């Protein structure tokens, strides 16, 4: 992995084969624009292909992990590119699940929408008091097709997942641990990245082939379900992106008010 290949991520190579990847649009709370969307589709594969790296730690610069899609004015992701964007969305999920090396997410602050999906798809999830996880697609009048429908039910159960996906309700760091979304919870925000690094160092000292063999059978189960869930979820999401409710949600977001959904 090389920094020059990324505009919206900081690539910090550490000792012992560990790389810390930080989503880097802090002025937008690391919200996903078109460039970050493309880079999210490639970073896990670049990590997998780099033979000098053993473990990846994913976090966010500033006060958020990732606030989801950037629906603000300017360089946002407000105008979907149809099928091409959906293909890229599928690659984000598939490439993470295909990665044989361990990935740890240190979820600082907000992890919303696609940001929540990427954090939860990592093998180990660490949260802290500032962590807020939510799949907020419905708040924007669109379906949770970016992978939330895949990973949330696996981690917390079907009916719980449907509730959170249908409401966009927020989950704090300790509750994320209790509900099964996180592996570890630290009591102080300052302990978040050190805890993630501690786990990364433990994994980096392990036998790479044995670790890969231990995670990939589990991931193959997720991938088999993904092959059914993702096309349906993405199709529904794309359809809902053309709705009047989605346009109203974007307008309301930019005007800093609550949307008025009509069902159209």
Q: Is residue 38 part of a domain?
A: yes
pLDDT at residue 235, rounded to an integer: 87
Which helix (H) or strand (E) segment holds residue 105: the answer is: strand 103-106
pLDDT at residue 81, rounded to an integer: 56
Please tell me the pTM assigned to this model. Answer: 0.92
Residue 116 is part of a domain; what is its CATH number? Answer: 3.90.226.10
Q: Is residue 130 part of a domain?
A: yes
pLDDT at residue 222, rounded to an integer: 95
pLDDT at residue 83, rounded to an integer: 66
Q: Is residue 242 part of a domain?
A: no
Measure the CA–CA gap between 135 and 171, rounded to whole angstroms: 10
CA 51, distance to chain mean position in Å, is 24
Question: How many structural domains does the chain have?
Answer: 1
Q: Is residue 89 part of a domain?
A: yes
Q: Is residue 227 part of a domain?
A: no
Q: Is residue 226 part of a domain?
A: no
Segments forming the whole domain that contains residue 54: 3-190
Q: Is residue 69 part of a domain?
A: yes
pLDDT at residue 26, rounded to an integer: 96
pLDDT at residue 234, rounded to an integer: 87
Q: Is residue 246 part of a domain?
A: no
Mean pLDDT in order along the chain per 10 residues (264 residues): 96 95 97 94 97 98 93 57 78 96 98 97 98 94 90 97 96 98 98 98 97 96 93 88 90 90 90
């Amino acid at each position: 992995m090389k920094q020059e290949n990324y505009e919206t991520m900081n690539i910090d190579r550490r000792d012992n084969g560990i790389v810390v990847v930080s989503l880097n649009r802090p002025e937008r709370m690391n919200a996903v624009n078109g460039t970050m969307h493309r880079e999210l589709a490639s970073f896990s594969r670049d990590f997998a292909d780099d033979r000098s790296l053993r473990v990846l730690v994913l976090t966010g610069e500033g006060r958020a992990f990732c606030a989801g899609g950037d629906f603000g004015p300017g360089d946002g992701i407000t105008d979907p590119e149809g099928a091409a964007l959906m293909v890229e969305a599928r690659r984000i999920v598939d490439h993470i699940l295909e990665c044989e090396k361990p990935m740890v997410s240190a979820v600082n602050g907000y992890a919303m929408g696609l940001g929540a999906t990427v954090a939860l798809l990592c093998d180990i999830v660490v949260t802290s008091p500032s962590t807020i996880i939510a799949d907020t697609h419905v708040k924007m009048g669109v379906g949770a097709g970016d992978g939330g429908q895949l990973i949330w039910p696996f981690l917390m159960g079907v009916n719980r997942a449907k509730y959170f996906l249908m409401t966009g309700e927020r989950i704090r760091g300790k509750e994320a641990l209790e509900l099964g979304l996180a592996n570890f919870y630290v009591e102080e925000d300052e302990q978040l990245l050190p805890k993630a690094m501690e786990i990364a160092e433990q994994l980096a000292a392990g036998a790479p082939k044995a670790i890969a063999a231990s995670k990939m059978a589990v991931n193959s189960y997720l991938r088999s379900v993904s092959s059914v869930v993702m096309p349906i979820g993405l199709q529904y999401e794309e359809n809902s992106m053309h709705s009047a409710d989605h346009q109203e949600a974007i307008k309301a977001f930019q005007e800093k008010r609550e949307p008025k959904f009509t069902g159209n």
